[in-house]
Amino acid sequence: MKSFFLSLFTASLLLVGAASVTAQTAPKTVIHVVTVKWKAGTTPEQIQAALAGVQALPASFKGITRVWTRSIKVQGGAANAFVMEFASEDALKQYSGSDAQKAWYKVYTPIRESSTTFDITN
């Protein structure tokens, strides 16, 4: 009986420890993944300007913590993909319609044919 309770206690500690590790490693940031298909006739320079605009967003909107713009593999007919990491769901909501988004959209939307967006968090 003593062995049973010791095993039960040990299993409980392992579960609590695993939950604690998961809580510590599971970020609460929001990953905003966008795949893009550019309009016909869009130049490489225009695409580079749009992606450079993504790179510049953390300087103009503090809720964006990191960005990734170098597409290694893109599927489904898209030409590029990029990612923005937001500090929180609230930061993502505040970004929508912000001055930073509006300024970047001046470069991005005229050359974007279509895009898909995925917002992911824990």
In a domain, 106, yes or no: yes
Quote the domain boundaries for residue 86.
Answer: 26-120
Q: How far is CA 66 from the centre of its chain?
A: 8
**Which pLDDT belongs to residue 24?**
72
CB 103 within 8 A of CB 44: no
**Which pLDDT belongs to residue 20?**
52
Q: Can you give the pLDDT of all 122 residues of the chain as single tens digits?
A: 555 444 545 555 555 555 555 567 888 999 999 999 999 999 999 999 999 999 999 999 999 999 999 999 989 999 999 999 999 999 999 999 999 999 999 999 999 999 999 999 99
In a domain, 2, yes or no: no
Tokens 């990734």, residue? Answer: 68
CB 29 within 8 A of CB 67: no
In a domain, 116, yes or no: yes
User: Could you tell me the pTM of the whole model?
Assistant: 0.78
Tokens 């959209």, residue? Answer: 105
Helix boundaries (H) for the chain? 2-25, 44-60, 89-95, 99-108
Closest CA to 78 of 35, 45, 111: 35
Q: Which two tokens stand for residue 121?
A: 């968090």
In a domain, 48, yes or no: yes
| Residues in CB range of 111: below 8 A, 6 or more apart | 38, 39, 42, 46, 47, 50
In a domain, 86, yes or no: yes
Question: What domain count does the chain have?
Answer: 1
CATH of the domain at 43: 3.30.70.100
